[in-house]
Chain A
């Protein structure tokens, strides 16, 4: 059972480049979400989805896009990378927020 798989683990981007962080889960969870973690701050919600075809914005959505075409996959797209997007990104899934949340291992992104 792979759980939540995030790729890539490390990435360096130049300002203005675009990229996609991949997230996949094999637990048939309806709820999936993306967070960023910055020094001195708690995890902050970027986007979330409560099922295939349904997405919504979190606390810090600007500069990011998501889609949920299948239950398993929830990719996060950086449209035009900025140094302010240098962060650690976590994908998570759960049946719903009243159950255990499973996190991916994190993706360290540096924008130069």
Chain B
């Protein structure tokens, strides 16, 4: 069983829709990262969470430590949001990031 599970694996949405991507993990963590990987391959950090909620523009990330679950929300989705979204957890041991397999999002105009 993977220690970090993301759902859904693939997601297609119409422009303007509200999107939710989920991440569940089975280990104790110090921090959780949400990353975005565009078709060209580059990876960009969106959020680092250790508790609660963070917001940046149309993106919102939440984490529930007790339930070992995090969500990434995109409001008013746009075709430029099309990318792979990756959840990664810092399990506490030095240098150890565990990655989910990613959620591929496609937003149609």
Contacts and interface: CB of A to CB of B under 8 A. Distances in A.
A40 B104 CA distance: 11
B45 A98 contact: no
Interface string A54-70: 00101000000000000
Contacts of B98: 42
Given A42-B86, A97-B31, A102 B97 contact: no
Interface in B69-108: 86, 88, 90, 94-102
Given A43-B86, A44-B99, A58-B95, A100 B48 contact: yes
A31 B50 CA distance: 19
Nearest to B30: A98
A111 interface: no
Contacts of A44: 99
A42 B100 contact: yes
Contact of B33 (A35, A41, A101): A101
Interface residues of A, number: 26
Contacts of A31: 95
13 contacts: A40-B101, A42-B98, A42-B102, A45-B96, A50-B94, A58-B96, A98-B48, A98-B50, A100-B45, A101-B97, A105-B42, A106-B42, A108-B41
Interface of A: 31, 33, 35, 40-45, 48, 50, 56, 58, 88, 90, 92, 97-103, 105-106, 108
